[in-house]
Structure 1
């Protein structure tokens, strides 16, 4: 799968330059027929797998996998690539490389992006279904899609006897393997998962600060998203370890992001972020500025605005109103007044703010209690504020 990164405004983009089909390009009037989708995928996968095996009778295939599932939150959900690999193909590589290549589908000898007939229509229908409501609906649709792929692989495996057929995805690696395969298959083909499960049980028994240090050490590893989730769940217990991480160049951004999501705005956190703001640069600096804003200390960013890049200040101003807010444990109540004050007293930022808050750039989800503030903002003298509030209210009332 192409690596996915988030910018401080909470938007997701693929780092390989892939230009996805967004929701606006996927206007499909009929709702997705999930049963027909599942049956179509099952039949097409059966046909594609049998075709490869029949064409290459001299090879002993050990697995087929669906992988490379591109997605962009609130936009594209793509269909997976199909890969098959044989023992003979794997043996062409040096022995020391084989463990990594065994499950690296895009490095397999037989890879097919066109295994599903009428793939674009199904992709458009799936994306349109995901995008027809809130971010939460997009997430639940994507999870339903993954479970559908699990069932498809299980059904095709029953038709293909001994061939292992599974779904592989970096973000949901262990979950999909355990859902697709039997426990005995997991022990045989992915023994490292049981080792990790035992390790996780040991970590869970540790004191909170020790657990936090462990998960911080995993932020730059294969299971970094799992580590991020664990740190968010730890909440205040994770704060000291994350504050220390602000001193690490090219990792400070992740610490700042998590501090903002945990939402503890005590003096130690604010002082550490403020001290790091002008010491850092690039993504580190942008996330630190955004975290300060999200914790209600945009004043500290503005006090140093002459030392900061223009886009860093703009991103910080907008942070409380973007989808970054949707990942926090307890977001601060919606308040458009700080944004309106910037429009009124610092007009030099107005054009960039309007662009950053434009439709399609990722807006925050509201709770019902925040509807009153959004309704008040509908009467704001600033068009960008009115437009943003209207988008949020529209999503809330869907």
Structure 2
């Protein structure tokens, strides 16, 4: 792909939208920002380029009091292109359509690593377009329509979007125009330089939403940085455990502390004993009852992540722990909770497969937690064997889960060579409609690795007993047709 030509096409198109709008704008020193906004990126899937948006001080003033609210962040009305006077200046030009098609071919024409590389280069190109567009507009005949602090940025209201804005604007303009984000970044740098013990205390205070004046942490900061604190404490690893254990006893912090202990993954006797004690503790009859029950369930999930599923089953058999709590705990290692863990235990379906023999009443409750749509874990290469075994399990819920996780194209060609035939076998032979449907979706996800299965796609689209499965196979056929024609999957 010619990335320089791609970048130039985007710049030319943006200028073709903005310059006429500025010429038609009657007010001088009024337009304060242009944004490339609305970029859509689906990992290993389509990348849709942003469109141009523009706003003026006069238009912002017309929004009333709401325009003055905010803290100088991308989430304020001032920096929300969807609410601007010119929110979507899409050209619809053939050149832009060709550029997006070229990008799609580059991004989706290989493996997942190729998609990620193309995505990075695309963002780099868009940042440069913003910088060049700003310079070109300042040098144009309509520069008098721009405010002295006029800015051009690539807009996305996310953590990544903040980093994009910083790259587009530069340090000085970023600090002036987005002081809320600049203050957060400065605070993060300050905290990163603290000694480990103080940094740990800082993040624990954020987790509890409590100020720590001696560390320079205000209550408002603590309340805003709770999610970042969880990431930081997880990165501390086992060193954070002694400080997390006391938080288990507090209803207000039990959920976060238990989740972090499970994600850190150190199954020490102290951690296991503390989690077990909280799971067995009676839920108080108070206004915090719902939160306390949620905490117990997450403690059960943390125990399962630490390899203590057998103990949870024993409590269910003995009647010392409710089935709902045990079922949620047993199900946790198969969901998205696991994806954040530092070093999760390998995928293992045996705890679920043991339920019909040891505690059959739990199975329908576990099925509710593992059913499609509840979220699933990301399969790792060393877990492919267990997922393939799960695809042959006597339990439908296990076969469904295995079919979901086996559609992981990022595992690479060697895994695909083993996985695709197993999924194809499930499409033909599994008695469960949902397993067949999920297996078709997984084969679709494997793209080129499943090209040889086209006869299966045709037969399934024509003859499966389920409308849902036939429709999924028809969509899979479309992907195969696109691949054969050298067109990126839609």
Q: Is TM-score (shorter-chain normalized) higher than 0.5? A: yes
Please state which structure has a larger fraction of its residues in helix.
Answer: 2
Corresponding position: 1:150 with 2:137: no
1:1-398 aligned within 5 A:
42-50=11-19, 52-58=21-27, 60-66=30-36, 83-91=53-61, 93-94=64-65, 97=69, 99-100=71-72, 101=76, 103-105=78-80, 108-110=83-85, 112=87, 115=90, 117=92, 146-161=123-138, 163-168=150-155, 169-190=157-178, 195-219=183-207, 221-249=223-251, 251-277=253-279, 279=283, 281=290, 283-299=294-310, 301-302=312-313, 303=315, 308=322, 310=324, 313-351=326-364, 353-354=366-367, 356-358=369-371, 361-395=374-408, 396=411, 397-398=415-416
Q: Give the match's secondary structure for 2:354.
A: helix
For residues 384 and 227 of structure 1, do their structure 2 counterparts lie closer, same or farther at Cα, with a shift above 3 Å needed?
Answer: same
> Any unmatched runs of 5+ in structure 2?
139-145, 208-221, 284-288, 417-490
Q: Give the match's secondary structure for 1:292.
A: helix
Contact 1:203 1:211 in 2 (8 A): yes
Q: Give the match's secondary structure for 1:110.
A: coil
**What is the deviation of 1:164?**
1.0
For residues 184 and 320 of structure 1, do their structure 2 counterparts lie closer, same or farther at Cα, with a shift above 3 Å needed?
Answer: same
Q: Larger radius of gyration, structure 1 or 2?
A: 2
- RCO (CA 8 Å, sep 6+): is it higher in 1 or 2? 1
Contact 1:318 1:357 in 2 (8 A): yes
Write the deviation string for residues 285-337 of structure 1: whole angstroms up to 9, x where unpaired: 54333222212223454426876573x54443222123332221111122221
Contact 1:105 1:111 in 2 (8 A): no
Taking the aligned partners of 2:71 and 2:15, their CA distance within structure 1 comes to: 27
Taking the aligned partners of 1:289 and 1:117, their CA distance within structure 2 comes to: 53
> Any unmatched runs of 5+ in structure 1?
1-31
Taking the aligned partners of 2:369 and 2:178, their CA distance within structure 1 comes to: 44
Write the deviation string for residues 3-23 of structure 1: whole angstroms up to 9, x where unpaired: xxxxxxxxxxxxxxxxxxxxx
**What is the deviation of 1:365?**
3.1
Write the deviation string for residues 104-149 of structure 1: whole angstroms up to 9, x where unpaired: 41684426257364999969x96x9689977x88877766664454
For residues 268 and 85 of structure 1, do their structure 2 counterparts lie closer, same or farther at Cα, with a shift above 3 Å needed?
Answer: farther
For residues 40 and 254 of structure 1, do their structure 2 counterparts lie closer, same or farther at Cα, with a shift above 3 Å needed?
Answer: farther
Q: Give the match's secondary structure for 2:55.
A: strand
Taking the aligned partners of 1:188 and 1:358, their CA distance within structure 2 comes to: 49
Scaled by the length of structure 2, the TM-score of the pair is 0.59
**What is the deviation of 1:65?**
2.9
**What is the deviation of 1:99?**
4.6
For residues 195 and 104 of structure 1, do their structure 2 counterparts lie closer, same or farther at Cα, with a shift above 3 Å needed?
Answer: closer
Write the deviation string for residues 221-271 of structure 1: whole angstroms up to 9, x where unpaired: 545544333222211222234334445545543333322221122233334
Contact 2:71 2:180 in 1 (8 A): no
For residues 227 and 353 of structure 1, do their structure 2 counterparts lie closer, same or farther at Cα, with a shift above 3 Å needed?
Answer: same
Q: Give the match's secondary structure for 1:281.
A: helix
Q: Kindly report the root-mean-square deviation, in angstroms, between the aligned alpha carbons of the 2 structures.
A: 4.5
Q: Give the match's secondary structure for 2:152.
A: strand
